[in-house]
């Protein structure tokens, strides 16, 4: 991991958090708002590997918990798992069809929203109705956002390779 | 080689998952000012200015976006004039926005003055990005005298309670969040005719958020009669967070007590417009609390 790559990932994180809280938080589509942070985690994991996906997911989740006043660690736990899972599955996704990537992003969003909701329900901080309703709505919103988020993250991470080219 | 890197990946995953669980445990067990608490204040202090900048940019841009979208199909020679009109309209809207903000801030301050409280005005800089947490970040903090558990109002009624404070920012948990509970009392509404014909003078209860737009009021006494249109106010008790008499909302629906519940289920519509909050007042000193 080079310093420049670390900087790029930090920029993705800060950008996603600011856009999520200042722009997307104002949106309400059927009572749910898109979850840009899951998308960022999925995109980074797709563009790198399982370890990077897990670490990026953990840091993103931690920042989200702290800023959005959730029990600290809940989003971190879920996003770590999401980043790792996507980074692992990525090896088996050889297709360049946009549909495949959309389905992956949608499924990851649905799973992580439901897992977050489930954890918060366990802590009695949410209701079953809110949890079940939020999942599909957030996944749908995220599907609409994916075409905008993916290319940006890909372009940024492609430009800066994971490790410096070595010659022998 | 593959085996080796696989094992490393799994070790990283296990370490991160364990770290998350440790964080959750610490967060639930720490006292005020614990390590996670300090970390949270740091995060708000770092991201607060960024969020404020972003929302300052977004508010006029969102208004302008609607205008520009309508211009798409017009001819080139008209376009310049249309853009000029859009710019002027946006400018006009900014003025209207500032005027409205001023009016709402005055309203919010007036609301708190009615109960004899000292307040601090603040703007909302960000909403919680989470789908499960209904809170907002405002740009007033301990430097302005804000502390945890203070009541927050807007021009129409109670907004919520301060849950986290940094030097310049504070997080406000909205009354609609499922974790929010407020001691409340029913006041006799127009349905009872004159106030004297109501069978009670005060009906204590608790107002809880449900995650949706409506709140639920749970009366303490089983036989409390409730009618549509009854106002719900905050109730003060020994050691309570909120000053008494702040308007919370109005009873919108009553499902009478039955087999499922001993007390009637009462849905309350909050007076405050929580979906489009922009300016609020924080009650920093309750009457009789003066130094």
* Nearest CB partner across the interface for A23, out of B54, B125, B131: B54
Rounded Cα distance between B115 and B223, Å, is 30
Mean pLDDT of chain B: 78
pLDDT at A29: 67
What are the residue boundaries of the structural domains of chain B, listed by start? 181-274
The pLDDT of residue B225 is 78
Q: How far apart are CA B99 and CA B88, in angstroms?
A: 16
Residue B14 in contact with partner chain A when CB distance is under 8 A: no
- Please report the residues numbered 179 through 208 in chain B whose beta carbons come closer than 8 angstroms to any beta carbon of chain A: 179
| Cα dihedral A18, B155, B150, B120 sign | positive
Q: Which chain B residues contact residue A14 at CB under 8 A? A: 47, 50
From B216, B270, B204, B189, select the one nearest B240 (Cα to Cα). B204
B193 is written with which tokens? 């005719």
Alpha carbon distance B279, B124 (integer Å): 6
Return the higher-pLDDT residue of A16 and B31.
A16
Q: What is the pLDDT of residues A41-64, one digit of tens each?
A: 998 888 888 888 999 999 999 999
Indicate the helix (H) or strand (E) that contains A149. helix A128-159
- Quick one: three-class SS letters along A28-90? CECCECCCHHHHHHHHHHHHCCHHHHHHHHHHHHHHHHHHCCCCCCHHHHHHHHHHHHHHHHH
**Nearest 10 degrees: Cα torsion B14, B20, B24, B25:** 40
pLDDT per residue as tens digits for the range B269-290: 998 888 778 888 898 877 665 4
**Contact at 8 Å (CB) between B279 and B124?**
yes
Query: Does the domain formed by B181-274 have CATH 3.30.2020.30?
Result: no
**Residue B144 neighbours by CB under 8 Å, 6+ apart:** B120, B122, B282, B284
Strand ranges (DSSP E) for B187-255? Answer: 203-208, 215-219, 231-234, 247-255
How far is B183 from A135, CA to CA, in rounded Å? Answer: 32
Helix, strand or coil for residue B144?
Answer: helix
- If pLDDT is split at 50, 70 and 90, which confidence band does B205 have? confident
pLDDT one-digit tens code per residue, B32-86 = 777 888 888 888 888 888 888 887 777 666 555 545 544 444 466 676 777 788 7
Whether the predicted pLDDT of B92 surpasses 60: yes
* Cβ within 8 Å, pair A72-B178: no
Token pair of B57, please? Answer: 């940019």
> Which residues of chain B have a CB within 8 Å of the CB of A90?
none
What's residue B286's pLDDT? 72
Name every chain A residue with its beta carbon within 8 A of the beta carbon of B21: 73, 77
**DSSP H helices in chain B:** 2-29, 35-71, 76-114
Dist CA A46 CA A9 (whole Å): 13
Distances from the Cα of B140 to the Cαs of B166, B255, B283, in angstroms?
A: 9, 40, 12
pLDDT at B2 over 80: no
B106: Cβ contacts below 8 Å, ≥ 6 apart: B155
Q: What is the DSSP letter of B265?
A: E
Q: What are phi and psi of B56, to 5 degrees?
A: -65, -35
Q: Give mean pLDDT, residues B145-149.
A: 89
Q: CA of B58: which chain A residue's CA is closest?
A: A23
**Is A3-157 CATH 2.30.29?**
no
Residue B290 pLDDT: 46
| Minimum distance, in Å, between the CA of residue B110 and any CA atom of chain A | 27
pLDDT band at B200 (very low <50, low <70, confident <90, very high): low
Asked if the C-beta of B275 comes within 8 angstroms of chain A's C-beta atoms, the answer is yes
Q: Do B20 and A77 touch (CB under 8 A)?
A: yes
ipTM for this model: 0.82
CB of A51 closer than 8 Å to CB of A87: yes
Residue A137: closest CA among chain B residues belongs to which residue? B131
At A120 the pLDDT is 85
B contact residues 60-89, partner A, Cβ 8 Å cutoff: 62
Q: pLDDT tens digits, residue range B245-267?
A: 788 998 888 887 766 667 778 89
pLDDT at residue B69, rounded to an integer: 45
The torsion angles phi and psi of B162, rounded to 5 degrees, stand at -75, 130
Q: Are B153 and B169 in contact (CB under 8 A)?
A: no
Q: Which residue has the higher pLDDT, B60 or B200?
A: B60
β-pair type (B158-165, B151-153): antiparallel
**pLDDT in the model for residue B66:** 44
pLDDT band at B129 (very low <50, low <70, confident <90, very high): confident
**Can you give the pLDDT at residue B160?**
92
Positive/negative CA dihedral, A20, A25, A27, A29: positive
pLDDT of residue A83: 92
Identify the DSSP state of B259.
Answer: S
Percentage above 70 pLDDT, chain B: 78
Q: Which parts of chain A register pLDDT below 50? A: none
Q: pTM score, two decimals?
A: 0.65
Query: What pLDDT does A94 receive?
Result: 75
């Amino acid at each position: 991991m080079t310093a420049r790559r670390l900087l790029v990932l930090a920029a993705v994180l800060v950008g996603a958090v600011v856009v999520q809280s200042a722009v997307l938080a104002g949106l309400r589509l059927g009572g749910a708002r898109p979850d840009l942070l899951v998308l960022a985690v999925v995109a980074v994991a797709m563009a790198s590997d399982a370890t990077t996906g897990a670490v990026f997911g953990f840091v993103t989740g931690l920042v989200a918990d702290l800023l959005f006043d959730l029990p600290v660690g809940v989003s971190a736990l879920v996003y770590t798992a999401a980043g790792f899972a996507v980074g692992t599955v990525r090896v088996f996704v050889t297709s360049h069809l946009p549909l495949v990537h959309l389905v992956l992003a949608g499924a990851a969003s649905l799973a992580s929203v439901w897992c977050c909701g489930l954890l918060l329900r366990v802590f009695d901080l949410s209701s079953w109705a809110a949890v079940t309703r939020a999942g599909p709505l957030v996944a749908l919103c995220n599907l609409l956002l994916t075409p905008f988020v993916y290319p940006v993250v890909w372009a940024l991470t492609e430009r800066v390779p994971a490790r410096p080219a070595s010659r022998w | 080689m593959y085996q080796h890197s696989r094992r490393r990946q799994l070790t990283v995953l296990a370490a991160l998952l364990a770290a998350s669980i440790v964080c959750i445990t610490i967060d639930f067990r720490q006292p005020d000012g614990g390590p996670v608490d300090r970390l949270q204040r740091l995060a708000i202090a770092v991201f607060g200015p960024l969020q404020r900048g972003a929302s300052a940019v977004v508010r006029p841009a969102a208004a302008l976006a609607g205008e520009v979208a309508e211009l798409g199909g017009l001819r080139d020679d008209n376009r310049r004039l249309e853009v000029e009109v859009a710019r002027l309209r946006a400018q006009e809207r900014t003025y209207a926005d500032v005027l409205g903000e001023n009016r709402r801030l005055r309203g919010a301050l007036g609301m708190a003055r009615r109960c004899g409280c000292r307040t601090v005005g603040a703007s909302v800089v960000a909403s919680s990005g989470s789908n499960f947490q209904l809170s907002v970040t405002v740009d007033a903090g301990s430097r302005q005298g804000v502390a945890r558990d203070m009541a927050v109002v807007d021009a129409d009624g109670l907004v919520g309670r301060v849950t986290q404070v940094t030097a310049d920012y504070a997080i406000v948990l909205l009354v609609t969040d499922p974790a929010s509970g407020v001691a409340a009392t029913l006041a006799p509404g127009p349905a009872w005719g004159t106030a004297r014909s109501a069978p009670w003078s005060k009906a204590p209860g608790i107002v809880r958020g449900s995650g949706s737009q409506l709140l639920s009021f749970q009366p303490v006494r089983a036989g409390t009669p409730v009618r549509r249109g009854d106002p719900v106010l905050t109730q003060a008790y020994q050691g309570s967070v909120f000053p008494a008499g702040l308007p919370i909302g109005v009873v919108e629906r009553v499902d009478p007590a039955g087999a499922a519940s001993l007390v009637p289920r009462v849905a309350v519509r909050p007076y405050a417009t929580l979906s489009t909050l922009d300016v609020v007042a924080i009650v920093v000193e309750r009457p009789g609390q003066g130094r």
